[in-house]
Amino acid sequence: MDEHIDGHIMDEHTTRAEARIHWPGLRLPVTVLLDDPTPCRNPAWYEFPDQGHEAVVPNRFTEEFADLIDRTGAAGKFSVVPCPGAQGRIDEGMPGVSDEEMAGFLRLARERIAPRWDISPEMLTHNKALDLATMRPIEEREDVWAARQDERTLTPYIARGLEILRNVGLEPNGVTSPWAFGQEVEKDYARAIETALREVCGVRVGWYFLHIDSYSPLVPPRVARLDPAGADGGTALVSISTAARQSGAGHYDFAWRTQFGEPDDIDALLTADGTGGRLAELYANGSPLSFHTHWQSLFSNGSGTGLAAMGRLIERINGVWGERVRWTSNWPTTPRRAPPPTSPPTTRAGAWSWTRRSPAPSLPSPCQSHPARRRSRSTGRRWNMPLTTRPSCTRAVGAATQEEPRPYAFPYATAPSWCGDALK
Ligand SMILES: [Zn+2]
């Protein structure tokens, strides 16, 4: 992590390894990656039609979600599925959903959610893939289809989802992968996302969500692509991961089981006293705090117990860390280049910013018993530089390896905690 934001700005010679992402407001970012929001309907009802899920998600529920984020200041990303269940497109009206109902959802998304949360499509259907020529489903699920695609076929597919969201007045600035869409062809996938975001939305520094990183001590955003000399004044793409770990109950999503009337797992992320859980581990390491959940998990088939659990979790985070963390959307901003006219605003409260790394970072002491102290150039404050948790490894982690998180030999939970006062 870097505490001075006045470093060099990127120029056309900047490489991916040199690009550095700054924490907004120099505080630890915390972000919720909310998957699967589907206008007016329960995504689980489309995906598992035989499981007896409640079909209709009333707009009153979406309003309650908006009230919650207003009340708590929580931020993150919010997917909107453009062609739910492969049964229609939300910009042309969905079968069984009245125009008024659809308009109500979209108004809430535009006016109450998008000001603080980033909007992304979650591919087109979160179900069967579509033939773009006819917009009819083919027999394969989107993730299965994607595994055999390349940049040439993925770009128009992603672009179609972005276009549909723009048609309903939303301004996506990233892409969410349904399931592990694109994982097998990630290089092509990342290029396709970058091109589609630039061409359809005028977004040159975009993001995508594909990966889960449950055990790394640090789970920062990773610069997946960087082309400062590219079209329209340069482009880049940042990969945002969730850091959630599978709980004892077998789910990564703290609210998943509420769909079945079972309890939530917020303690796996942060215990009530603030000392345990995955987020406490990340905090101790000076890592951004990221976790994910699903629209169907918050809706809980009509009971809303998942949303209530999310409210408790957010209040817990705010209560334990307060001003030491900042709720953050996914969208990294670059301060220098003027955006093309179609671009949404270049800055928003709580967004990431970035610059060229300056100068080559000095690595802290590799000794685990004596974590290196670093001093902020701008404020004179000192903090502990996190080190790797693997005793045999002498390589320090932190700003020096920010763009390439790597897997660790064993869970952090079993390693000594030596930098709990980081960022105090
Ligand atoms: Zn999903």
Per-residue pLDDT of the chain (424 residues; tens, 9 = 90+): 222 222 335 667 778 877 777 777 778 999 999 999 999 999 999 999 999 999 999 999 999 999 999 999 999 999 999 999 999 999 999 999 999 999 999 999 999 999 999 999 999 999 999 999 999 999 999 999 999 999 999 999 999 999 999 999 999 999 999 999 999 999 999 999 999 999 999 998 899 999 999 999 999 999 999 988 877 778 889 999 999 999 888 899 999 999 999 999 999 999 999 999 999 999 999 999 999 999 999 999 999 999 999 999 999 999 999 999 999 987 765 433 333 434 443 445 566 776 665 443 333 333 333 333 444 444 445 444 333 333 333 333 333 333 333 332 222 222 222 222 222 2
Q: Cα of 256 to ligand 1 centre, how many Å?
A: 12
Please tell me the predicted confidence (pLDDT) of residue 417.
25
Sign of CA dihedral 65, 70, 74, 75: positive
> Whole-angstrom Cα distance, residue 163 to residue 127?
19
Please tell me the predicted confidence (pLDDT) of residue 349.
53
**Tokens for 149?**
């695609």
CA distance to 8, 188, 247, 250, per residue, from 115 (Å): 29, 31, 32, 34
Q: Cα of 43 to ligand 1 centre, how many Å?
A: 9
Q: Cα of 109 to ligand 1 centre, how many Å?
A: 18
Burial of 158 (0-12, 13-18, 19+ CB in 10 A): buried
Q: Cα of 316 to ligand 1 centre, how many Å?
A: 25
Please tell me the predicted confidence (pLDDT) of residue 2.
29
**Tokens for 164?**
């549909």
Q: Cα of 353 to ligand 1 centre, how many Å?
A: 27
Q: Cα of 18 to ligand 1 centre, how many Å?
A: 32
Count other Cβ atoms within 10 Å, centred on residue 61: 21
Q: Cα of 295 to ligand 1 centre, how many Å?
A: 9
At a CB cut-off of 8 Å and minimum separation 6, what does 88 contact? 94, 95
Q: Cα of 223 to ligand 1 centre, how many Å?
A: 23
Which residue ranges make up each domain of the chain? 27-331
Q: Cα of 155 to ligand 1 centre, how many Å?
A: 20
Q: Cα of 177 to ligand 1 centre, how many Å?
A: 7
Please tell me the predicted confidence (pLDDT) of residue 23.
79
Q: Cα of 33 to ligand 1 centre, how many Å?
A: 10
Q: Cα of 294 to ligand 1 centre, how many Å?
A: 7
27-331, CATH topology level = TIM Barrel (3.20.20)
> Would you mind telling me the total number of residues written for the chain in this entry?
424
Q: Cα of 37 to ligand 1 centre, how many Å?
A: 8
Q: Cα of 108 to ligand 1 centre, how many Å?
A: 20
Please tell me the predicted confidence (pLDDT) of residue 10.
62
Q: Is 341 helix (H, G, I), strand (E, B) or coil?
A: coil
The beta strand positions in 52-135, using DSSP E, are 76-80, 118-121, 128-131
Q: Cα of 179 to ligand 1 centre, how many Å?
A: 6
Please tell me the predicted confidence (pLDDT) of residue 354.
66
Q: Cα of 278 to ligand 1 centre, how many Å?
A: 22
Please tell me the predicted confidence (pLDDT) of residue 110.
97
Contact 409, 390 (CB under 8 A): yes
Please tell me the predicted confidence (pLDDT) of residue 132.
98
Please tell me the predicted confidence (pLDDT) of residue 350.
61
- Residue 279's nearest CA partner among 330, 238, 332, 316 is 316
Q: Cα of 98 to ligand 1 centre, how many Å?
A: 24
Please tell me the predicted confidence (pLDDT) of residue 333.
56
Sign of CA dihedral 264, 269, 271, 277: positive
Q: Cα of 9 to ligand 1 centre, how many Å?
A: 35
